[in-house]
Amino acid sequence: MKNRTRDNKKAWEQAYEHRNYDEETVLATLRDHPSDYLNDELRPALDAYIKPGSAVMQFCANNGRELLAICKHYAVSGHGFDLAENMIRSANEKAAALNLEASFQAVDILEIPESFHNQADVLVLTVGTTAWFEDIRAFFTKCRQVLRPGGILILQEIHPLTLMLAAESEDNYDPDRPFTLVNDYFAKKEWVSTSGMGYMSDLKQSYPFFDYSHTLADHVNAIIASGLTVRAFDESPVDYGDIFGANPPAGCPLAMLLIAGKPSGEND
């Protein structure tokens, strides 16, 4: 595992340790209203590609709530991967409590063993996934490897255009003009943050998180280079990453949904 990945593991495990939500509530939602964890633009893609008996995988599955929601809602099996051991423990506990055919493994995505190759009918990636991988080509190569021939990748991500907007914690953030495009879209940059992970933890000072900017072309070219075939692409003004809180910029693409397939007859 690379040093940066080891640092991120420490930071994510700390964020989970200080989580600002209750896993019992997550469990109750999964039991009674699993589709609450599947947003309105992701759902039609899942409806279209998940079939009875499908094996579904998720990379960067966090505490497992999204994959468990898929397993419960569509009555399919699931396998999730994430760096953070404490999240994975909880995901496996919830799977057992819900009696679902789902299991989770703590591993760096880039080091998922070959025994998982050619296993997934559908691989789901949700917002907040690709930025953790400096080498986005290696990341999408692993996506291709875990898919069965004919398998489908469903990627919902934060739209790369949002890289151009300053976050409140950045020096160039202007509270009077928060939606001005101030950052260089093309800058190849490592971002470091020690201000916690607000969407899941109330810690204001944390171990450092390291992430990376990837343009839209970086995503599409890495997917094509991996050997996957792009089937559909869409953009959305909805702030699924909850970056902008109550006041998201109007008329901006804030999320994207891309569907790609692994050619039939191609094993790894």
Ligand X SMILES: C[S@@+](CC[C@H](N)C(=O)[O-])C[C@H]1O[C@@H](n2cnc3c(N)ncnc32)[C@H](O)[C@@H]1O
- The binder of ligand X chosen from 102, 108, 153, 214 (CB under 6 A): 108
User: What spatial distance separates the first Cα and last Cα of the chain, rounded to whole Å?
Assistant: 22
Q: Tell me if 157 contacts ligand X by CB under 6 A.
A: no
Q: Tell me if 26 contacts ligand X by CB under 6 A.
A: no
Q: Tell me if 83 contacts ligand X by CB under 6 A.
A: yes
Strand pairing class (229-236; 255-261): antiparallel
Q: How far is the CB of 174 from ligand X (least distance, A)?
A: 26
Using the contact rule CB under 6 A, the part of the chain among 72-80, 93-101, 127-135, 245-253 near ligand X is: 127-135
- The binder of ligand X chosen from 104, 132, 140, 210 (CB under 6 A): 132
Using the contact rule CB under 6 A, the part of the chain among 21-29, 76-84, 182-190, 257-265 near ligand X is: 76-84
- The binder of ligand X chosen from 34, 42, 49, 62 (CB under 6 A): 62
Q: Tell me if 102 contacts ligand X by CB under 6 A.
A: no
Give yes or no for a contact between 102 and 80, defined as CB atoms under 8 angstroms apart.
yes
Rounded CA separation 222/104 (Å)? 26
Q: How far is the CB of 168 from ligand X (least distance, A)?
A: 18
Q: Tell me if 84 contacts ligand X by CB under 6 A.
A: yes
Q: How far is the CB of 250 from ligand X (least distance, A)?
A: 24
Strand pairing class (147-158; 255-261): antiparallel
Rounded CA separation 64/62 (Å)? 5
Rounded CA separation 222/225 (Å)? 5
Strand pairing class (229-236; 209-212): unpaired
Q: Which residue is nearest to ligand X (CB)?
A: 128
Residues 6+ apart with CB under 8 A from 234: 41, 256, 257, 258
The residues of the shown chain that bind ligand X, judged by CB under 6 A, are: 5, 8, 12, 60, 62, 81-84, 87, 108-109, 126-129, 132
